[in-house]
Amino acid sequence: MRKRITGVFAASAAAMLMLAGCGGGSGFSDDGNASAEGGLTNDSSQELTVLIGSSGDAETAAVEKAVAAWSEETGQKATVSVASDMAQQLSQGFAGGDPADVFYLAPEQLAGFASNGSLLAYGDELENKGDFYENLLQTFTYDGKLYAAPKDVSTLQLFINTDMWAEAGLTDADYPTTWDELADVAQKLTSGDRKGLTFSGEYARIGVFMKQAGGGLVDDAGTTATANSEESVAGLEEVKTLLDSGVAAYAADLGTGWGGEAFGSGKAAMAIEGNWLTGSMSVDYPDVNYKVVELPAGPAGKGTMHFTNGWGIAADSPNQEGAIDLVEYLTSDDVVMDFAEAFGIMPATTTLADAWKEANPELGAFMDGLEYSVTVPTAQGAADVIADFNAQLEGLHNGDAKSILDSVQTNLEAIL
């Protein structure tokens, strides 16, 4: 089932970089696209270095195993290092002119490093480029160039405590498919100190309502601010209505650190969270019975958010061809499914959607959500705008949705 190029160091692949600091690129053009001679570097005598930000021993072992297998197959040496502080170590590597060849790249760090030439824009060289979800490719596109192959992805959906659900007299036929139905079941599930619904008070959760209303912070191209559009305001007003009615609450207002904790500890019967919560449920709350369903649709239809990381490649790598070949191997079908089994990631390719859902039938809603998901804006400076938005969301319960989004609109227009 493995889909990958057969040449030892064929020019195709995937990857990218993280952070916004120091420049890269001795011997490279300003966009970090190629060497001065116009081609990819290919010094296979140099050992490739791979820098990852690991979630734990299982992820580290799986990546090390895959890289070792590639090395044995190609004859090219490569080593894996686990960053203690990914952003700092990448920044230091670029500043010192000795970055890792291949590394994990966060979307919010793309613009800064792509604009200063630190990253190799190798996306068009990828043999398997057409396998990835288009919206994930867009996440790693800057100034019209694809800088990274998506490594994996997560989406948000609705977690339901099935014991509380049954106690409230609800059945499978009552799973909410509209905003009105969500509010109705949340009301029925609210009892005493327990809320019917919870989510973190941040755009990375609340944004699903804006998408379901047909809005968002930016347009599909990510170049025009739409924060205070009629649709975006309608989405945020729906959140305010849920909070004001007392059937929903921010996780922090329930005395918890995030929505998963509020849900697992029984302080809320439903939660808007990502597929990462399933691991926490099995470890921290093994006795809680739950089901995952797709989030209900709003006036404009279904909507959710996705979160991803990519494989970055340094523009300064002396063996760009080898790095690209390695990334293509690491995003091949067999290897990605090995990763999914080893540490629970969700594939970023359409080619593996059915296989992953077959292996994880109870989690299929997360994969289905990729068809209609959006991500957090990745423009340079967007992280600061969103941080300010999140601070304003703390006062949404007593605030005005349009006034908050007018402020966000102004801030976004200043950076776009």
Q: What is the pLDDT of residue 68?
A: 98
pLDDT digit string (tens) for 277-320?
Answer: 998 899 899 999 999 999 999 999 999 999 999 999 999 999 99
Q: What is the pLDDT of residue 7?
A: 34
Tokens encoding 213: 């209303």
C-beta atoms surrounding 168 within 10 Å: 17
Residue with tokens 């909507």: 303
CA distance 44 to 360: 39
Triad 303, 294, 409: Cα angle to 5°? 20
Domains and CATH numbers, the chain: 48-154+307-374 (3.40.190.10), 155-305+376-415 (3.40.190.10)
DSSP annotation of 137? H
Closest-CA residue to 352 (of 338, 157, 295, 12)? 338
Closest-CA residue to 206 (of 140, 265, 272, 298)? 272
Q: How far is CA 367 from the centre of its chain?
A: 13
Q: What is the pLDDT of residue 23?
A: 35
In the chain, which residues have pLDDT < 50?
Answer: 1-37
Q: How far is CA 123 from the centre of its chain?
A: 18
CA distance 253 to 243: 11
Q: What is the pLDDT of residue 38?
A: 56
Q: What is the pLDDT of residue 27?
A: 33
Q: What is the pLDDT of residue 14?
A: 33
CA distance 105 to 52: 9
CA distance 163 to 76: 54
Q: What is the dihedral of CA 71, 75, 76, 82, to 10 degrees?
A: 20
